């Protein structure tokens, strides 16, 4: 019986699972994110030696499948070299987090896979590989339906007094902030997308307000129109979603899909369980 090591890595955290080829989980672990745009091979080796090796039952695997943010063809060798330094493996694959989402959601069947988290992304998928990928363009030009864009739309409506009376004061009190600080954080401080996405819990708790619900639903409809409907297969295959935004805003997401004539499939919070299923049924 052969063992497989799986990794799903974002810029902030990496989820690991050691499994048998039949899908039995031997161990799970988490380390910090391993985006090769921000970490070199030596830094990745140091992190894994300190925080992963002791959590695994073995360092010998038939195959290692690493999926990650920043794992472009140009940057993938940075991660692969680190993995080969620490593990004995006949096969090492380093691929994108978008492919991880597609395989976790669609398994071995064609479909459209979507990520809705702090950012947003999508692709069409033939059952093994991505076929098309509409560029998400980031939260300024795109990322429709993401946590960052929901935060941007909500804050814009809030500060322009387009939402129910009293909601602005409630928001400013809860976050102990004011309009001047918000504008400073968005326009002058690092990572404004993460800052805007941090307001998602407040927005999700106010979906009972029709103005907030409509704002969120319209953001999802924009994601569908500007991304999903560009894939020819959207009309005949299900459209699946993964990410915290997809899970916490499931009701307006389903409503948006229904209004746009989209057949919705699986909704997962994280890819790992789907990846375990995919790699144990090949």
Q: Identify whether the C-beta of residue 159 lies closer than 8 Å to the C-beta of residue 168.
A: yes
pLDDT digits (tens, 9 = 90+) for 44-55: 999 999 999 999
Q: Can you tell me the distance from the alpha carbon of 179 to that of 160, in angstroms, rounded to the nearest whole number?
A: 10
| CA-closest candidate to residue 198, choices 217, 177, 213 | 177
pLDDT digits (tens, 9 = 90+) for 130-187: 999 988 877 778 888 999 999 999 999 999 999 998 999 999 999 999 999 999 999 9
Q: In the prediction, which pLDDT does 282 show?
A: 60
Q: Identify whether the C-beta of residue 127 lies closer than 8 Å to the C-beta of residue 278.
A: no
DSSP letters for 48-89:
HHHHTGGGSS-SEEEEEEEEETT--TTTHHHHHHHHHHH-EE
| CA-closest candidate to residue 200, choices 87, 98, 119 | 119
Total residues belonging to the chain: 282
User: Residue 94: is its pLDDT beyond 80?
Assistant: yes
pLDDT digits (tens, 9 = 90+) for 208-250: 999 999 999 999 999 999 999 999 888 788 999 999 999 999 9
Reported pTM: 0.86
pLDDT digits (tens, 9 = 90+) for 95-124: 999 999 999 999 999 999 999 988 899 999
Q: Which residue's entry shows tokens 């004995």?
A: 88
Q: In the prediction, which pLDDT does 232 show?
A: 86
Q: Identify whether the C-beta of residue 30 lies closer than 8 Å to the C-beta of residue 15.
A: yes
User: Residue 281: is its pLDDT beyond 70?
Assistant: no
Q: In the prediction, which pLDDT does 159 show?
A: 94
Residues sharing a CB contact under 8 Å with residue 63, sequence separation 6 or more, in sequence order:
2, 4, 5, 89, 90, 91, 92, 93
Q: Can you tell me the distance from the alpha carbon of 231 to that of 243, in angstroms, rounded to the nearest whole number?
A: 20
Q: Identify whether the C-beta of residue 112 lies closer than 8 Å to the C-beta of residue 231.
A: yes
Work out the pLDDT band at 2, boundaries 50, 70, 90: confident
Work out the pLDDT band at 10, boundaries 50, 70, 90: confident
Q: In the prediction, which pLDDT does 280 show?
A: 87
Alpha helices in 160-280 (DSSP H): 167-174, 179-188, 192-197, 200-204, 210-226, 244-248, 250-259, 272-279
Q: Identify whether the C-beta of residue 216 lies closer than 8 Å to the C-beta of residue 207.
A: yes
115: three-class secondary structure by DSSP: strand
Residues sharing a CB contact under 8 Å with residue 30, sequence separation 6 or more, in sequence order:
13, 14, 15, 16
Q: In the prediction, which pLDDT does 119 show?
A: 86
Helix (DSSP H) and strand (DSSP E) numbers for the chain: 13, 10
- Over residues 2-11, the mean pLDDT reads 89
Q: In the prediction, which pLDDT does 114 show?
A: 96
């Amino acid at each position: 019986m052969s063992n497989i090591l799986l990794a799903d890595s974002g810029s902030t955290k990496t989820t690991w699972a050691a499994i048998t080829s039949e899908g039995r989980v031997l161990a799970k672990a988490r380390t910090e994110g391993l985006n090769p745009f921000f970490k070199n091979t030596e830094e990745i080796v140091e992190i894994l030696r300190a925080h992963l090796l002791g959590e695994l039952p073995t360092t010998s695997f038939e195959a290692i499948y690493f999926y990650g943010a920043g794992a472009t063809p140009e940057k993938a060798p940075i991660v692969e070299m680190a993995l080969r330094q620490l593990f004995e493996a006949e096969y090492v694959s380093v691929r994108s987090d978008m492919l991880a989402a597609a395989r976790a959601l669609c398994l071995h069947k064609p479909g459209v896979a979507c990520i809705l988290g702090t950012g947003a992304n999508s692709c069409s998928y033939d059952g093994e590989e991505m076929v098309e990928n509409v560029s998400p363009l980031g939260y300024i030009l795109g990322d429709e339906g993401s946590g960052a864009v929901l935060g941007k739309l909500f804050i814009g409506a809030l500060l322009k007094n387009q939402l129910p009376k009293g909601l602005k004061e409630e928001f400013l009190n809860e976050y102990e902030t004011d309009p001047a600080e918000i504008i400073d954080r968005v326009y002058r401080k690092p990572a404004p997308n993460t800052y805007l996405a941090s307001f998602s819990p407040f927005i999700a708790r106010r979906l009972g307000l029709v103005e907030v619900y409509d704002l969120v639903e319209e953001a999802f409809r924009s994601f569908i129109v500007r991304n999903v409907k560009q894939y020819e297969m959207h009309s005949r295959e299900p459209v699946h979603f993964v990410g915290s935004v997809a899970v916490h805003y499931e009701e307006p997401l389903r409503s948006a899909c229904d209004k746009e004539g989209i057949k919705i499939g699986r909704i997962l919070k994280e890819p790992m369980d789907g990846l375990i299923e995919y790699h144990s049924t090949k």
